[in-house]
Structure 1
Amino acid sequence: MTKLLHVLFAPGLFTDASVGNAILIGTVVAIISGVVGVFVVIRGQSYLGHALGDFGATGASVSFLLGLAALWGFLGGGFIAGAGVDVLGQGHRRRGRDVTTGVIHAFVMGLGALFLYFDTTYTNTTGAPMTILFGSIFLIDPKLVPTTVILGVLTLVLLLVLYRPLLLSSLDADLAKARGIPVRWVSFLFMCCMAMAVSQSSLVIGALLSTALLIGPAATAIRLTKRTGLAMILSAAIGTMATWLGIVLAYDSYDWPPTGRGWPVSFFVTSLVLLFYLISRFRRQQPVVARRPKEESSMKEVVTHGYRMEHNS
């Protein structure tokens, strides 16, 4: 038994403080991303979720210049640019919102390239691009752990408050307006939830890959159940499993070629998320997909069924 444990887990895994911090932060981020991600998929805002990661990367590059923690840059960049997308995209259909997101996305990415150039040219933070773009969960400052947990709790509380109006407005915005729901404010507050989820995910697997925890587990969960609440639980569980396994494999890879380097956590987490998604596609095909080939139609049926089930319960 002991030999088997040594094969599965490298020595020191359970006593290393950095691993403990990584597991705690990774768990919080996976749960938040999984829960928020279900609504991201239902609302068809996957592109905005990806863009928020890049927005945050620009903010993080500014925080490196100012000597601040990357988390604050991720949050600031995500909030500011995300608010701009939400305001300018109001009143447009999905295609119009995507165009607005694309225009702002390109501009903010240009700013990010400029600030990363300043980071590597005028400061001593030569590892800033790798840290921002691909994450470094084992090197996160332990002082940020309580902050990350608090932000995670706030995100969950906000989403819990928004749950029913957000579910209805995701299904039918006109019906939500007729029932007196402030759809515009609900959309803006949900964008704030997305920004907080993506910002924390960027700490774990980097800005470029943060969408993996936001979209992958949620898309997998939605294929397994039509109930929105259950999909959120499954999504959080899938993301947590991928994160835990990713941390263990990254720690074990220290002895893999090239010896003494270790493979990045982001590679393992994104690979596992993809694997779970592929398994869900082969394991079960929802009848609604066969009846309605368009993914948007199937997502609408999922949220309709979930709203009716949970509204009546």
Structure 2
Amino acid sequence: MAIVKLSPVERRRLTAFASCLALAIVAWVFTVLSNPYDFVIRKVISYKNSPQKKSFHQLQSDTVDATVHGTGWQMLFSRFTDDSKPLDIDLQTLDKRNYVVLSTQLFAINKKQAENRQIVGIDPDTLYFDFSNRRFKKVPVKLVKSIKYEKQYFQSDDIEIKPSEVTVSGPSEVISKIEYWKTDTLRGTDINETLQGQLKLQPVKEGNMSVYPKTVQVKIPVDEFTEKSLQVPVKVINNSNYYNVKIFPQKVKVTFVTSLNDYPNIDEAFFVAAADLDLWRLHGYNVLPVKINRLPPYCRIVKIEPANVDFIIKK
């Protein structure tokens, strides 16, 4: 293969030519991308000013194709950037008709757009809706939580949620299936004191529904727990034939953990220890295991001594 040898002067000329060509291409690209263009991007729509006395169901997708008037640079980078800000569509006209014309709202929509990135058209231009009667229903609030307590600390009383109920409204067929409304997840780690504060409710997923209020006050009592032991009498249950039953021992030692606030107030009257005679009558047990059928709220049993009791039956 023949190799072309260039003189130093020719190499300088070739380098100068290549540099000029590259600069010309760069200048041309900048000029082209600086010109205005119309390009299409997909946008999610959200609704405001929904009708208060009737519910609706949209008959098309919740996304539209928006034609944007901008520079070539914006068109280029629109393919790489995600403009997730939704288009706010005003539904005030649904009080009189079952459709909304988006072109009549372009002025209001573009107020929230950058001046050099104005929307000139939306496809589809008309959104249609199916109406149904709006139903209102009160449902309890369900707390969603993910809490880890510091060692020896636990929830010590009932959780308080104010208000305990919220009002949901929307199509009757949807509202009838709602039994409760969840909060956002309340999270905490190494908790050693009472948790309280404002928590948002999970947002509605459909534009034709609403929930009120949107926040609740939550309080989770937290206290340090410690062990306590009591002698609790054992009660014989399921003595359907009214046998004369004697058990030994008649009391068992119940060790449990309870909060420091409740510690001085809890005595054996808060507990019911039971021995089930059906275990002997139906299954032939020689000893009866002791079970705690009632205990104070938020107490946890550590052990029962003895775990089984002997018995004598006199017919």
TM-score, normalised relative to structure 2: 0.18
Larger Rg belongs to: 2
Structure with the largest fraction of helix: 1
TM-score, normalised relative to structure 1: 0.18
